[in-house]
Amino acid sequence: MGGVLRRSALAVSVIVALATAAWAQAPAAPVAAAPASPPRVGFIDVQRVLARSAAGVAAREQLERERGTMQREMDGKRQELERLRDELEKKGPLMTAEARREKQDAFERKRRDAARLADDFQKELEKKEQMLLQHVLQDLSGIVARVGKERGYHIIVEKRGAMVLYASAEADLTDEVIRAYDQQAGTKGKK
């Protein structure tokens, strides 16, 4: 019984192989008229646009200024906490129990306030970064569409997010998009 099954399986395999070979050699069905030119695909590197375009650099500089302001305020809080801690360590043994407890409570309150402020600053920076990034990307989408239409591209993908495994240098539109973006930003500023 096992031999019959084996021979049947072999026969089916041979038939499938022959049918596949015959299909592969058969002339293809006529295709509709080929397009005048092959589809063009390009890509841009949004991270590079954000790092090198005038608007991206300005957004990053604005964030750094705000981060610096917040950092200076946090440094002041940290120094105040260090001063209170040093005072507790040096004068604590000389204080009454109640005075020491009040100083420790004040230190803990200020420590919690500083931690909350640091968390608020972090959230505020993240929110501003997202807002600036969204603004740049919104401006960029119109420019990418315009460059794509002008250059005859059928599709333009983002290099990192689209998992591009190969991209020729000729397909890289990033520098052209940066120039167009900076040019548009320059004309908007003059209006």
Give a yes or no: residue 24 inside a domain: no
Give a yes or no: residue 32 inside a domain: no
For residue 119, with 0-12 CB atoms within 10 Å meaning exposed, 13-18 middle and 19 or more buried, which class applies?
Answer: exposed
Give a yes or no: residue 2 inside a domain: no
Please give the model's pTM, rounded to 2 decimal places: 0.60
Give the three-class secondary structure for 172: strand
Predicted confidence (pLDDT) per residue in 121-147, tens digit: 999 999 999 998 888 888 888 888 888
Give a yes or no: residue 54 inside a domain: yes
Q: Domain of 108?
A: 39-185
Give a yes or no: residue 46 inside a domain: yes
User: Which parts of the chain have pLDDT scores under 50?
Assistant: 1-33
| End-to-end alpha carbon distance in the chain | 89
Total structural domains within the chain: 1
Give a yes or no: residue 6 inside a domain: no
Give a yes or no: residue 22 inside a domain: no
Give a yes or no: residue 79 inside a domain: yes
